[in-house]
Amino acid sequence: MPNPTAAMLVIGDEILSGRTRDANLAHLAQEFTAAGIDLREARVVSDDEAAIVEAVNALRARYDVVVTSGGIGPTHDDITADSIARAFGVPIDVREDARALMEAHYAVTGREMNEARLRMARIPDGATLIVNAVSAAPGFTLENVHVMAGVPSVFRAMLAEVLPTLNGGKPLLSEQIRVEKAEGDIAGPLRQIAGEFADLSFGSYPFSENGVYGANIVIRGTDADRIGVAAARIADAIG
């Protein structure tokens, strides 16, 4: 059975203005690769309802799993939950179990529940909450869409909650071979070897360090033995 497919949607003006550098895509990519879930696409859109709705609907129709990050805080620019409800065509309102989670947390931290914070208890109808140990406000899962916070520590905590609930596949394994030859000099034999191992994928990532030009050849696949055989072929032919 092929591995499940996935996409990520990063939501936030701050990424597209260059103020903030996204850190969640790289983390999700590593976790999904280890879990055997093929991350096929990522999109970044601004805090704009129409843009979020369109992207979520495009991605959830196409991939088995969609993860969003960002836009679920208490301020006016946090419109993700409402946009997801709109995308699914379902109502959204304050949910008592989400409110209770937050009130219990605020009782400890001495904060007060107010109108702004209550917005974070707004959950689309039919969703399952994603609790997290870092902050009180939950994310949520609606069908195959998992809506998480943008703050990296909270995103990670939420992903750790969700990952065990997903059906993974075979972990994507990889082996890297460092070659201190220019990419243009190894491309010919590399292409030939890649053709011989159609069940594996071969990437070449050039580098230059202290005047040394080279490339890291990365072999990816789900069969460790085959990767080992291909790595030996590359070491023979190129290394």
Q: Pick the stretch among 31-39, 93-101, 162-170, 222-230 that binds a copy of itself (CB under 8 A).
A: 31-39
* 3-class DSSP assignment, residue 77: coil
Q: Which of 178, 184, 196, 235 binds a copy of itself (CB under 8 A)?
A: 184
CA-to-CA distance for 109 and 6, rounded, in angstroms? 36
Which of 151, 203, 145, 150 has the alpha carbon at shortest distance from 179?
A: 203
Among 2, 21, 164, 210, binds a copy of itself (CB under 8 A): 21
Q: Binding to a copy of itself by residue 230, rule CB under 8 A?
A: no
Of the pair 128, 174, the CB lying nearest a copy of itself is at 174
Rama region for 9: left / alpha / beta (φ>0; ψ in -120 to 50; rest): beta
**Tokens found for residue 57:** 């609907």
Instruction: Determine which residue in the list 117, 140, 145, 166 makes contact with a copy of itself, applying CB under 8 A.
Output: 117
Decide whether 2 or 195 has the Cβ nearer to a copy of itself: 195
Q: Which phi and psi (to 5°) does residue 123 adopt?
A: -130, 135
DSSP 133-173: SS-SS-EEEETTEEEE-SSHHHHHHHHHHHGGGS---S--E
Exactly one of 82, 103, 175, 183 binds a copy of itself (CB under 8 A); that residue is 183
Q: Does 26 bind a copy of itself (CB under 8 A)?
A: yes
Q: How far is the CB of 86 from a copy of itself (least distance, A)?
A: 18
Alpha-carbon distance 101 to 98, whole Å?
Answer: 5
Instruction: Give the interface with a copy of itself as residue ranges (CB under 8 A).
Output: 13-22, 25-33, 39-47, 51, 73-77, 111, 114-117, 119-120, 151, 172, 174, 182-188, 190-191, 194-195, 201-206, 215, 218, 220
